[in-house]
Amino acid sequence: MIATIIPDVRNHYPVLLSEIISIITPQYGGTFIDCTFGQGGYTKRILNFPETKVIALDRDSESCLLYTSDAADE
């Protein structure tokens, strides 16, 4: 049995994005670790700030492929 659900539409909205950004304060730059990369919502927002880097990890190896595909479209 495969328990993974892959929707046809890839809309993902990071939960509590504003709250997390206010806590980690990327506006001052730095390196951040995103351990739940998923579709890259937090990573994209963090990288909007200058002098920031993100190390992104996810248990789902296909997440990186989805993000790479989406980033190429932008």
What global pTM score does this model have? Answer: 0.73
* pLDDT tens-digit readout, 9-66: 567 788 899 999 999 999 999 999 999 888 889 999 999 999 999 998 888 877 766 6
Tokens 């993000």 found at:
67
Q: Which pLDDT does position 59 carry in this prediction?
A: 87
Q: What pairs with residue 53 in β-bridges?
A: 31
Q: Which residue type does 9 have? A: V
H-helix segments, 5-49: 17-24, 41-46
